[in-house]
Amino acid sequence: MRAGLLLALLAAAAPAAAHEAAPAARPAPAVAPALPEPGTYELPPITRVADARLLDEQGAPAPLLGLEPGQLAFVSFVYTHCADAGGCPLALATLQRLDRLVAADPALRGRVRLVTVSFDPARDTPEVMRALRERMRPAGDWRFRTAPDAPAIAPVLAAFGQDALPLVDASGRESGVLRHLLKVFLVDDAGAIRNIYSADFLSAELLAVDARTVLMDARHAAVEAP
C-alpha cells in the first residue's frame, strides 16, 4: 500500500520533526498569549459522543475512546493525503508535541490519551495508519484508528461535527482532496466534549492546560480519591 502524501511529507521533514519536542526548535510566534492557570476557568460540556468500534493499526476491532474513569482523550480526525499546511500536518505536529508534554508530566501521563482517526478509510488502511504511528513515534498513549469503509466512519464524523467533503474537479471527478476544517476534540470519560480547537488557536501547551483543568474537576478528583 502506497503511503499517503502526508506521510511522504512528514518523512521528508523527519530531521525537523525530531526536534519537535524541543521548544527552542519552533519559530517564535509573533505574539504569544499567556497561558491560563489550570483550574481557574471552566470548560463546560459542549455535547456528548458515544464510543464507537473502529479498527486499530493492526486491523483489529478497537474502541474509538475506550476511556477508563478519570481519563480523557484528545481526538483528531485526519487523512494522510492531506497537503493543507493548516490542516492535518498542523494537527499532527501539535499532537506530537502534546504527546511529549503528556509523557513528561506525571499529572497527565496515563490519564491523557491521544486518538488520531482517519476520515479517509479507503486510502488510510490499518497499514497506512501503522506507518503514520511509526512516523509519529509516540512517547505516550497515542492511538491510531481507521474504519473498514467510509459508511463506517460517517456516523462518528457526524457525532463529532467533523466535516470531510470530497472535492470534485470541473468535470465532476473526485480530486482526492477532502475539504475539512481542522478540529481537535477534548473528550472526558463521560463522552462529553469539553473543548474544540481549530487551526487558529491550536497550541500543545494550551491543550495540556485544558487537560489539567478538566482533570481538576470535582468529579474526576472523586474518581482519583482512595
Partner 1 sequence: MPRRPASVRALPPAVRVAVALGLALPLALAAGAARADEPCQSPYLPKIVGQEDFLYVWTLGIEGLGDGSDKLVTVSVNPARPDYGKVVSSVSVGGRHEAHHGGFTDDRRQLWLGGLDTSEIFVFDVASDPARPKLVKRIGDFVEASGGAVGPHTHYPLPGRMLISALSNREGTGRTALVEYSNDGRHVRTTWMPEGAEYGYDVRVNANLNRMLTTSFTGRNNYMRPLPELMADAEAMKQFGNTVVLWDAHTRKPLQVFEVPGAPLEVRWALQPGHHYAFTTTALTARLWGFFRKDDGTFEAVDLAPIGDPAKTPLPVDISLSSDDRFLFVSTFNDGMVRVFDVSNPRAPRVVHEQQIGRQVNMVSQSWDGKRVYFTSSLLSQWDKTGEDDEQFLRAYDWDGRTLTPRFSIDFRAESLGRPHIMNFGSEAFYQGRVAAVAAGGAVGGE
Residue labelled with grid coordinates 474537479: 169
Question: Contact between 158 and partner 1 (CB under 8 A)?
Answer: no
Query: Rounded to whole angstroms, how far apart are CA atoms 7 and 47?
Result: 32
Please identify which residue in 52, 131, 193, 208 interacts with partner 1, judged by CB under 8 A: 193
Question: Contact between 26 and partner 1 (CB under 8 A)?
Answer: yes
70-to-3, 111, 141, 168, 205 alpha-carbon distances in Å: 36, 7, 15, 44, 20
* Interface stretch with partner 1, choices 107-115, 119-127, 146-154, 174-182 (CB under 8 A): 174-182
* Interface stretch with partner 1, choices 70-78, 104-112, 132-140, 198-206 (CB under 8 A): 198-206
Neighbours of 121 (CB within 10 A): 23
CA 133 to chain centre: 12
Please identify which residue in 93, 95, 112, 115 interacts with partner 1, judged by CB under 8 A: 93
43-to-91, 115, 155, 177, 211 alpha-carbon distances in Å: 21, 20, 25, 33, 10
Question: Contact between 89 and partner 1 (CB under 8 A)?
Answer: yes
Q: Which of residues 69-88 bind partner 1 (CB under 8 A)?
A: 82-87
Q: Report, in Å, the least distance between residue 7 CB and partner 1.
A: 12
Please identify which residue in 2, 24, 31, 151 interacts with partner 1, judged by CB under 8 A: 31
